[in-house]
């Protein structure tokens, strides 16, 4: 059984290259981690959110059952910072028959993800070229043909760093890029992953 804990105070001694830092440092309050070692009054804890090791006082660490967290419970673990937070700190995504479904990322982490560069001159110019409703359209990524606003929703694809519009693509591909965090690294990883597994058969 993995010993998951929540570090209530959010402070400890950073443990790096087998050396314990002299001064106590703060990390995310209620960060979730795994106990790696017991050291007397202290635990050596690996924090999953920041991928770092800390020496933390036993009194400040509380063991939790991670399978009893989430939308159906009072507390939920954010999939980015991996801090245990009250479930209402996660925005509602939708309601369905099974109850409320909330976003996997806490409000605090979402604001830093959603932060995008302000609209540029280029973006304003590009917007004028947006394909009009009823026009034929071919998505530059999936190559699927559609009738704009009728058989597919066409959206502007933004470069989140510059705020410029790269091009117009179908909503489905836009969601796809978003799933890969708009990052070339993740896309390359995905391609390499598929290639690696292809080579095996």
Interacting residues with Zn ion (CB under 5 A): 78, 80-81, 106, 109, 139, 141-142, 170, 173
Q: How many CB atoms lie within 10 A of CB 72?
A: 11
**Which residues lie closer than 8 Å to 138 by C-beta, 6 or more apart?**
144, 145, 146
Which CB, 105 or 164, lies closer to Zn ion? 105
Q: How far is the CB of 196 from Zn ion (least distance, A)?
A: 25
Q: How far is the CB of 37 from Zn ion (least distance, A)?
A: 27
Provide DSSP, 52-114.
EEEEEEGGGEEE--GGG-STTSSEEE-TTT-BEEEGGGS-EEEEETTEEEE-SS-HHHHHHHH
Q: How far is the CB of 83 from Zn ion (least distance, A)?
A: 6
Q: Which of 51, 44, 35 is nearest to 13 (CA)?
A: 44
Which CB, 44 or 109, lies closer to Zn ion? 109
Q: How far is the CB of 90 from Zn ion (least distance, A)?
A: 9
Which CB, 20 or 75, lies closer to Zn ion? 75
What is the C-alpha separation between 199 and 185, in angstroms, rounded? 21
Which CB, 32 or 55, lies closer to Zn ion? 32
């Amino acid at each position: 059984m993995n010993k998951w804990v929540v570090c209530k105070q959010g402070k400890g001694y950073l443990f790096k290259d087998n050396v314990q830092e002299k001064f106590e440092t703060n990390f995310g309050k209620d960060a979730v981690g795994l106990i790696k070692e017991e050291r007397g009054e202290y635990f050596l804890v690996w924090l999953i959110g920041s991928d770092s090791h800390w020496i933390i006082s036993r009194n400040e660490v509380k063991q939790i059952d991670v399978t009893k967290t989430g939308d159906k419970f009072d507390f939920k673990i954010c999939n980015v910072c991996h801090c245990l937070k009250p479930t209402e700190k996660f925005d509602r995504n939708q309601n369905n028959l099974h109850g409320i479904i909330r976003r996997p990322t806490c409000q605090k982490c979402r604001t830093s993800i959603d932060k995008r560069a302000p609209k540029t001159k280029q973006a304003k110019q590009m917007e004028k070229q947006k394909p009009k409703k009823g026009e034929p359209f071919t998505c530059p990524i999936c190559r699927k043909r559609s009738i704009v606003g009728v058989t597919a929703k066409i959206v502007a694809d933004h470069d989140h760093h510059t705020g410029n519009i790269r091009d117009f693509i179908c909503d489905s591909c836009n969601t796809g890029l978003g799933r890969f965090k708009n990052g070339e690294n993740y896309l390359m990883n995905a391609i390499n992953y598929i290639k690696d597994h292809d080579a095996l058969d």
